[in-house]
Amino acid sequence: MGLRFGLLGTGHWARETQGAALAAHPEAALTGVWGRDPAKTAALAARLGTRPYEDVDALIADVDAVAIALPPDVQGELALRAARAGRHLLLDKPVALSTEAADAIVAETEARGLASVVFFTSRFSDTVNDFLAGAAADGGWHGVRATLFASIFQPGNPYGASPWRRAKGGLWDVGPHVLSVVLPVLGPVEEVTAVTGPRDSTHVLTRHRDGAVGSLSVTLDAAPEANTFAVDLYGEHGWRPVPGGDRSAVEAFGAAVDRLSEQVRGGPGDPCDVRFGREVVAVLAAAEASAGTGRTVRVPEAAGSGPAASG
């Protein structure tokens, strides 16, 4: 039998992506579901053919790994609790809403030798990963221009009522998707300058360690006619668009389960582990601070990655 998973969360993403993928995966056993609403927990457990849990710690005690589909502030707390119990982590992005919370998860997983994967959807598609590996090998990139304008507050959108998305906006929800394909090519971000714009948009300039500069614009409240997702590298090779993924969300999450399982079996660490997830959070937190203060903000390095940057 494969890894025993506990699913934490009962919302749309938990139902349609994580739960569906875990229930169908041939090498994963979905032991149970926990959620903050007992009625929704029971309904989802019945749908997935598994057991509802009223106590999250009881579910954590019964599994090898947790898959979390909850708001990032809730996820950060529960991921740390699961790691302290010695459970492997399959997290959604962003892993938390502060660098400090992400640092705590990294420290706990590394101290206990736990496997971890953070689900940046497109990073679990071969088309994207092959492109990023080739672009990184080519080098010579001066920067990136990225625009991710979503429009989730339209009738029928399953994410439009999400309180954390309304509070934190596109920077924290779709910003991780952009950074997940930028950082592997341009490298770590050292400092960030950000401003806010119309329709709750955030516009971010990132200066990377090797001198490249990124220009990122994101929102969840774009005019419907302005919806777009475009990430374009530029440099010595001209302009090169980053491709979209070649897997559905359910298929991509199944690949994430595979990659976590491979680590547990003794395979190498994953490029989308919690340390990478923490790197993304640190950039987002710096951008949020910059937009709020009007100053350029240094991005603190992770422990063990070099001298700490001053904030």
Q: Which residues are marked as active site? A: 93
3-class secondary structure for 115-126? CEEEECHHHHCH
> Nearest to residue 231, comparing CAs of 274, 299, 288, 174?
174
- C-alpha angle 149-155-159 in degrees, rounded to nearest 5: 60
Distance, CA of 259 to CA of 21 (rounded, Å): 14
Alpha helices in 31-91 (DSSP H): 38-48, 56-61, 72-84
| SS3 of residue 196 by DSSP | strand
Cα atoms in the Cβ-side hemisphere of radius 13 Å centred on 128:
19
Distance, CA of 284 to CA of 289 (rounded, Å): 9
For CA atoms 133, 95, 1, 45, give the dihedral sign: negative
Tokens (6 digits) for 310: 């001053």
Tokens (6 digits) for 255: 């690949």
Residue in the block written with tokens 């300058």: 193
